Amino acid sequence: MREQIAAALNTAMRAKDKERTATLRLINAAIQDRDIANRGAGKDPVSTEDIMLILAKMVKQREESAKAFEDGGRLELAEQERKEIAVIREFMPKQMGEEDMRNVCSKVIAETGAGGLRDMGKCMNALKERYPGQMDFSKASGVVKSLLN
């Protein structure tokens, strides 16, 4: 994963694509920050799964920012955030569709033996562990909640 991002950064720099280069540098910086934090805690460098979680977090932050910019009437800044989201998503696995998400959620509920809303955290933790970056967990939370009711 790191090599893919580094190769994309080199390509963007050669093409003089400033927006893409800036976004890829942000991705690298986020990964390096986590590496440094792990080193300080005596852990291994980030794995591919950790990188997926970092990317998912970056997408979520930019979606929230874009919405805030739109609400504030700053459409050009919202558009910039959406361009960054597009670049980040290139490195993430394909997002699950609504039906696939529902099937996966019901499977996880059955596997964890969840009996009610009190087991929702257990289900969400299992989903986050198995499908990092592959689904919108806020939507998945709603699906799990409706299935547990």
pLDDT, tens only, 103-139: 999 999 898 888 888 888 899 988 888 887 788 888 8
Where in the chain do CATH 1.10.10.410 domains reside? Answer: 98-148
User: Which of 3.40.640.10, 2.30.30.100, 1.10.1510.10, 3.20.20.80 is the CATH number of 2-89?
Assistant: 1.10.1510.10
Per the CB < 8 A criterion, the answer to whether 57 and 34 are in contact is no
Convert 104-128 to b/e letters by CB count within 10 Å (16 or more is b): bbeebbeeeebeeeeebeebbebbe
pLDDT in tens, 77-103: 999 999 999 999 999 888 888 888 999
pTM: 0.73
Please report, for residues 23, 34, 55, 129, the alpha-carbon distance to residue 29 in angstroms, rounded to integers and kept in the order given. 10, 9, 12, 24
98-148 CATH: 1.10.10.410
Residue 21 has a pLDDT of: 96
- What are 19's two structure tokens? 């927006």
* pLDDT at residue number 33: 93
Integer CA distances (angstroms), 63 to 45, 69, 83, 133, in order: 27, 10, 11, 14
Residues 6 or more apart whose CB falls under 8 angstroms from that of 16 comprise none
CATH 1.10.1510.10-classified regions of the chain: 2-89
d(CA 34, CA 58) in angstroms, rounded, equals 13
